[in-house]
């Protein structure tokens, strides 16, 4: 468990606000490095070329800095819609059957218990049981569940799952996790597009005898910087995804505890997680970009079931068995406190 579980709600919210700000700033600075770094490399490459062929105006850096700032703003503002679009989620506006009416009722009840406005409700047409929340703050939040979860869970279990997701909403986890998901997609898109543009140009820019002298004088430096620059493009999506993993894994424990608090029924959430874990239905709509936002790892990766430093770095969720054990312990302690019989 993380030390973050000992923070108050307001401390957790403030921490998530700061982390979101740092993330967006790092994203913009990363694009600045890609732009001005590329300009610097090209300036070295053409340093001994004829004046007309030298790289003097660092336009790529200015463009990339502007692109980074605009993408960061766009990702922050439209991240929830992109996540919902990517999972093919359909909003429940007028419930058409008993399942949807029950879902709406449960969300409304849990929103009251959590003390947050009722989020917009979505259903993902996926038989794999799962759920996630997205949004920028409690007033602009969305809760999505898969059709498989509605088919699998009882009302009490559904309450536990929705309570968990509203825990993410209340402590502003959704802001950070949605921003991460949007930025991962933006980095991948920009990397692929820029690589096509600039690799297509090759290194053409300095030729003739000046090029020969330049290679002799600056070849190693240009090569090292070029390798670092290219690796930045290649590793950026991986690093961002690892960041999403690092900030999501231990947050699940806190959201479990908050869901148990909202429902006052930890055993219902434990039962829901057991059913979700036992379900053997591959996901068809939730991909890696949104996997870290779900209540359970939709991709079924083996590392998720393990603990340790490697799992903490690479797994999106804590071990389900440990989460269930903690919730059962909370439930049995509650029963004992209330004078019930623990079987």
What is d(CA 40, CA 46) in angstroms, rounded to the nearest whole number? 10
Residue 96's φ and ψ, nearest 5 degrees, are: -110, -10
Q: What is the SS3 assignment for 125?
A: coil
- Edge-to-edge strand list for the sheet holding 120-124: 90-91, 120-124, 141-146, 131-135
What is d(CA 308, CA 169) in angstroms, rounded to the nearest whole number? 28
Residue with tokens 């990363």, as numbered in its chain: 30
Q: What angle do CA 294, 300, 306 make, to 5 degrees?
A: 95
DSSP string of 207-228, one letter each residue: -HHHHHHHHHHHHHHHHHHHHH
Tokens representing 108 are 């409304």
| Active site amino acids | 165
What is d(CA 124, CA 130) in angstroms, rounded to the nearest whole number? 9
């Amino acid at each position: 468990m993380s030390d973050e579980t000992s923070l108050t709600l307001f401390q957790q919210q403030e921490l998530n606000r700061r982390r979101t700000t740092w993330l967006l700033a790092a994203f913009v600075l990363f694009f600045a490095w890609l732009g001005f770094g590329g300009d610097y490399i090209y300036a070295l490459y053409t340093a001994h070329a004829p004046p007309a062929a030298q790289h003097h105006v660092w336009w790529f850096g200015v463009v990339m800095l502007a692109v980074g700032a605009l993408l960061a703003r766009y990702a922050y503002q439209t991240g929830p819609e992109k996540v919902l679009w990517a999972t093919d989620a359909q909003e429940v506006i007028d419930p058409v059957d008993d399942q949807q009416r029950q879902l709406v009722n449960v969300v409304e009840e849990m929103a009251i218990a959590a003390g947050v406005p009722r989020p917009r409700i979505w259903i993902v047409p996926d038989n794999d049981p799962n759920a996630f929340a997205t949004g920028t703050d409690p007033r602009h939040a969305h809760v999505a569940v898969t059709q498989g979860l509605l088919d699998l869970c009882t009302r009490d279990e559904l309450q536990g799952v929705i309570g968990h997701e509203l825990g993410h909403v209340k402590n502003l986890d959704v802001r950070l996790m949605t921003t991460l998901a949007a930025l991962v997609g933006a980095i991948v898109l920009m990397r692929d597009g820029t690589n096509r543009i600039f690799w297509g140009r090759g290194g053409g820019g300095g030729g003739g005898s000046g090029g020969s002298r330049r290679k002799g004088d600056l070849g190693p430096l240009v090569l090292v910087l070029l390798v670092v620059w290219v690796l930045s493009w290649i590793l950026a999506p991986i690093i961002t995804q690892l960041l999403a993993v690092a900030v999501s894994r231990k947050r699940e424990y806190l959201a479990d505890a908050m869901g148990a608090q909202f429902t006052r029924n930890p055993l219902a959430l434990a039962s829901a997680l057991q059913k979700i874990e036992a379900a053997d239905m591959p996901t068809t709509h939730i991909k890696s970009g949104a996997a870290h936002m779900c209540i359970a790892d939709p991709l079924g990766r083996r590392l998720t079931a393990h603990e340790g430093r490697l799992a903490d770095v690479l797994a999106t969720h804590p071990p389900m068995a440990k989460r269930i054990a903690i919730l059962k312990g909370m439930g049995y302690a509650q029963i004992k406190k209330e004078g019930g019989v623990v079987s």
